[in-house]
Structure 1
């Protein structure tokens, strides 16, 4: 690993300093300095800086360069909605507003450094403002999706011991319904136009707040973010990330996977409650001095995506593989071809595996390649298809420094090239600084995430002789049929190539002979809805046998109107699997 890092980092810095890039003069210095942390830490020349705060050490530095005229004129933040309303902030304006917001949190809300705050908000500008304000005040932010129910909110309030909750007037009633059991909660902050008894109004408080605020001096390893993430069993775990893990950790992937510079405008469609919003809508673009573009977009709509990419000068686009699939599905190809994306030059995706068929269709329609990356709430980007490197369709790419990524067996031993195992990150004798701190209040789960010298992702995969990682599936999604281990993604990728298939999810289904078999839930393309279902099922089964190994074909097929998905468009296989096994 050390040899790989030593050879890779100088190459990164050479590319960064190349005059062919859009950095000019001192514009490149900030990102170079942050990346230099990687070089020094990975080569064990020095430790992390004792103190680090993303707001003061990164955002305020970009504001200074902006003020001195040494940064392109792009705003730091650009928000739009479908009503034509816009909000734009420079780095200097973001700094001033976030200082005022920090004073609101520390003053009216009575919060201190180290206190925890739950923020459940849609894609509104205040979410970004409060992110930075929490960093400045040393407050630990806990983002949550607007899809949370009262039960979800209650569990998060109790488990996190949050002292404040920030939400919109839409979700405020759900919060109030669980207040009797929320003994740790001290204040409630409302974002929006309305007012409610017992709630502080953020907009009103921001108007009168002072912009004079001294950033808290946070240590590199002090907690900054907590994300609730679901496991295979039990309640969601709390993943704690430090100021340095995300604040410094996205420098490499931001620059070389997302290909970001201060001249770029990046649009990531993730919901604010999911970790991908932190990755691609906060840390990676702002480390690189890029503009964060946001469309309010309460629900995913292909038309809105296409129109926005066509209308605004977005250079970098990130969305989930399922969203890309919806954009290029058979009945939308003509629709997509009617749009031109004049500024778009780079596309990335993550969160689930990308079908090679989708990759190919997007390239045909737009001329652009989708660069897939892979990571978890517990990590920054583990591996990715970096800009300028060879892309193998269906692969997650290669390891991203500082990670040493391997495929290991059940004992934690590295398996040979081509053999299936668990995707893992080496943590001994040296633990990457950008790996999560712990599962908060759950030492057993924290300990169980490590086997031998490796942190286990829980995802199954293979690695080829060139170091490319190939995703097979979640360990708990793997279908073991009569001794054959089948990854649902492989079957889905085969099915999606058939013109009858608009969308698909594959799960295991109980079988008295084989233990479990492959079952496919398929949303048909409109032109095939009236076809004979039995004949179509047979045709699809034969298609899978031809495209992939015959034993992987779906022995059961069910046509459905839609598939269960998260707010960000990821298919919820677990929902389908649970229903299927409940029939047994």
Structure 2
């Protein structure tokens, strides 16, 4: 039974009701822990080692760490950097930091020494809790991180660092959770912009830990009986959505696979072997999975699949549905938000559409003056923030009031993404505002061209960008990764161009196609079109 039986009714009757005080670790996780046998996590590593953890385990272990942190002088409002792969300790640490009122700043294990130095210095972090690889990089930093008082390492003991496993054993499993106000700072994400250094996105206890119940309830559609697998790295916002707050709000257990890199065959084997009921991945993951022979697998317990990070190509949705009987439901939001637009259970999916606004959000497509545009007109995706600001929107870009201010236009928060809304209220993604291509007076969104290309059996993945052109100003250029068994050739270029002309409006076809081994991606698996575009413009001598 779905959590949303009547979409329109749910949206109309929805109220945020944010309490004055809220602490996800104390108010949600510790509440589930009252049932000592309630499973919170089934953890499996690459060697098939299994560990089961209850909510009670997480309550007690996070209490021990909270006691250790307090003993070491870490207090409410302090920034603690948290970096490790999918170790169980990542979840324990996140909860412990929330319990003491500290601000958690998660990062990916792929960060370089330079990235780490920038984060520690900019956030004035007082502590870092990490794996051995990250600890190595931190020890290489020679200056600018004087605020760092405490270093804790998970794994092997290390000089100059407290050893997580042996230290927390010395502390009590009882801890009184700090009474945190809903508008106190809780999480600090560094989000990479397309230019310059990353921005620091500050979330309060209400804007992310609390508000993600909307993500867990309506979009992930979870219940306490579910076993939910989210493929995302612990280092990016999607882990907040789908690996901790969304599922645990609903009392669902997490399936966690600790692996060094994504392996499609292994992923399908695990989906088949374990009683996983709900599955969430980035479009990149699904694009790779559908290249396998899905007819060799069966997923008897799977009932729901979701995708987020970038829009999902209709072709991928279709292939997955044929094999599993399940339609992947796309969801849209940002590091700055919880789920904002999505394909919700019970609302018919229009393939390739972002879906409709989530309960708790008024979302429109607006023009430069802040006017709501009629159906069919492209504009900025904007969230209404006045007279009432929705809970699931970040507080600010920390220490950058001007940058924060630039995101608002009258009563609207501007997401930086472009879309068209149709007559039935469905949103259709066009692209990041700076990804849109202007060719011969036409505006072309890269996503539509990429979706047309991926329908061709030779294309595994593609990225479409603007390339400078004397005559047209800009032309559509596609970077294409081929599926196994296909070789680059002038004939294939022509075949792909003709295919796009047939599938979408002829003026959108890529005038240039370059075959590549792989596409540049962010740590969260999004295609870095900006990097390809900059290379193109530099190559052709343009700025």
- TM-score between the two structures when normalised by the length of structure 1: 0.89
Residues 455-475 of structure 1: per-residue CA shift (max 9 Å, x gap): 000000011111111100000
Residues 264-309 of structure 1: per-residue CA shift (max 9 Å, x gap): 0000010001100010000010000000111012211101110110
- Residue 231 of structure 1: how far off its partner (Å): 2.0
Alignment of 1:27-426 (within 5 A): 39-41=14-16, 48-64=18-34, 66-67=35-36, 75-108=39-72, 110-192=73-155, 194-329=156-291, 332=292, 334=293, 336-426=294-384
Secondary structure of residue in 2 paired with 1:170: helix
Name the structure 1 match of 2:483. 525
| Matches of 1:167 and 1:179, distance apart in 2 | 18
| Matches of 2:144 and 2:136, distance apart in 1 | 15
Alignment of 1:406-555 (within 5 A): 406-529=364-487, 533-555=489-511
- Residue 183 of structure 1: how far off its partner (Å): 1.8
Residues 328-373 of structure 1: per-residue CA shift (max 9 Å, x gap): 13xx2x2x21111111110001000100000000000111110110
| Matches of 1:381 and 1:273, distance apart in 2 | 18
Secondary structure of residue in 1 paired with 2:320: helix
| Matches of 1:216 and 1:127, distance apart in 2 | 20
Verify the 8 A CA contact 2:15 2:360 in the aligned structure 1: no
- Residue 84 of structure 1: how far off its partner (Å): 1.7
Verify the 8 A CA contact 1:102 1:136 in the aligned structure 2: yes
Residues 505-555 of structure 1: per-residue CA shift (max 9 Å, x gap): 1111111121211111111122222x6x11111111111111111111111
Verify the 8 A CA contact 1:120 1:168 in the aligned structure 2: yes
Verify the 8 A CA contact 1:321 1:353 in the aligned structure 2: yes
Name the structure 1 match of 2:527. 571
Verify the 8 A CA contact 1:384 1:397 in the aligned structure 2: yes
Secondary structure of residue in 1 paired with 2:429: strand
- Residue 8 of structure 1: how far off its partner (Å): 5.5
Secondary structure of residue in 1 paired with 2:228: strand
Verify the 8 A CA contact 1:318 1:349 in the aligned structure 2: yes
Verify the 8 A CA contact 1:74 1:263 in the aligned structure 2: no
Secondary structure of residue in 2 paired with 1:304: helix
- Residue 120 of structure 1: how far off its partner (Å): 1.3
| Matches of 1:187 and 1:247, distance apart in 2 | 25
- Counting matched residue pairs gives 536
Verify the 8 A CA contact 1:479 1:518 in the aligned structure 2: yes
- Residue 248 of structure 1: how far off its partner (Å): 2.2
Q: Structure 1's 264 and 396: CA in aligned 2 closer, same or farther, altered over 3 A? A: same
Q: After the TM superposition, list the runs of 4 or more consecutive aligned residues in structure 1 that deviate by more than 6 angstroms.
A: none
| Matches of 1:206 and 1:358, distance apart in 2 | 46
| Matches of 2:509 and 2:30, distance apart in 1 | 55
| Matches of 1:577 and 1:250, distance apart in 2 | 34
- Residue 232 of structure 1: how far off its partner (Å): 3.3
Name the structure 2 match of 1:16. none
| Matches of 2:78 and 2:8, distance apart in 1 | 37
Secondary structure of residue in 2 paired with 1:381: coil
Name the structure 2 match of 1:18. none
Secondary structure of residue in 2 paired with 1:574: helix
- Residue 414 of structure 1: how far off its partner (Å): 0.8
Residues 391-441 of structure 1: per-residue CA shift (max 9 Å, x gap): 100111100021100001111111111100011100111111221001000
Cα RMSD (Å): 1.7
Q: Going by fraction, where is helix more abundant, 1 or 2?
A: 1
- Residue 316 of structure 1: how far off its partner (Å): 0.4
Residues 126-158 of structure 1: per-residue CA shift (max 9 Å, x gap): 001101111111110000001101111111111
